[in-house]
Structure 1
Amino acid sequence: MLLIFLIALIISLFASGASTPSFRELSFHTVSIVSTTGFSIGDSSEWPFSISFLLLIGAFVGACSGSVGGGIKSWRIMIMLNHAYKNIMKIIHPNSVISLKIGSKSVDDDVATSVWGFFSIYVISFVILLLAVLISGLDLESAFSAVGACLNNLGPGLGVVSENYAEINSFSKGVLAFAMLLGRLEIFTLLVILTPMFWAK
């Protein structure tokens, strides 16, 4: 979160024009968006696109472990990065025994596999939802931010959906409503309910 804030602050300092956010606005929006709270204290639609997009990407990382916030969650990101590092080290040192740890706690490989599975389904779901919204006629900026905002339970997006979702058509609203359910239930729960095996006796 701090890194995203610092990059956004640097961009705002070097960006020209009266539409750049103040330190107070930038601080508030960084915490609000990265934690997927979704509150706003001003019109961010007039900000430089690079700042708004950077904050939106921060929402994909999402809130901390155990919180009710949306996004992939920081603990999953940490496990994936550490697991990737472990695999790289195994290639360099094939005979070494490297345990996967987060802090001082060891993480089982089954947990890492489950996290990678979640991430894969998350990306696939995002792409499918994005294509569905694009088919409805929404531009790429608005569609990408709308799907990201709904899947991460964020709220505000960019472009047409920077203030609200009233301007988009009913099909897009239906797709985004499904994206909100998918994100709120963290994908696996909803997908399990939708499988025939779940309802089989």
Structure 2
Amino acid sequence: MTTTVLTLVGSLRDGSTNRQLAEATALNAPDGVTVKVYSGLENIPFYNEDTDVEGQVPEAARELRAAAAEADALLLISPEYNGTMPAVLKNAIDWLSRPFGNGAAKDMPSAVIGTAFGQYGGVWAQDEARKALSIAGANVLEDVKLSIPNSVVRFAELHPKDDAEVAAQVTAVLEGIHAVAAKN
């Protein structure tokens, strides 16, 4: 069985270390795992229940939900902005959580990883993302974690895909996701 992992990156900046971490994740997918890095989070309007009705759901939100429906698992890659996850990532979770109790994230094996400038690698943001995913109904894999500290220094001259330790760690993350998704 092949597990398709929809990957949402919380940083919109092209050269961000979290976007690079997503690239490293895709390049180091183990056998049986396909990583699809989603693009277009910046096009999704803030969640508004008034527009989340049949015939009015914004196209960008429909596309995100469709991508999630085609995936077997969800991987969020989050930087830390002011001690929490970026609004664009929280907004994606909000769209995936609806309709309440039956959203696209319901029961989906999900994990959160990331890198940040600080010494803890963005753990606060990642914990907040796990919390939001859990409330959205996702099957959050609490044991599948990766927080890489000091991103600006560590990846100043080395892309995460070329860092052997990171390559092994993201492979392990994907193996953890695959193990749970394969059981579903």
Higher RCO, 1 or 2 (CA under 8 Å, sep at least 6)? 2
Q: Normalised by the size of structure 1, how large is the TM-score? A: 0.29
More helix by share: 1
Larger Rg: 1
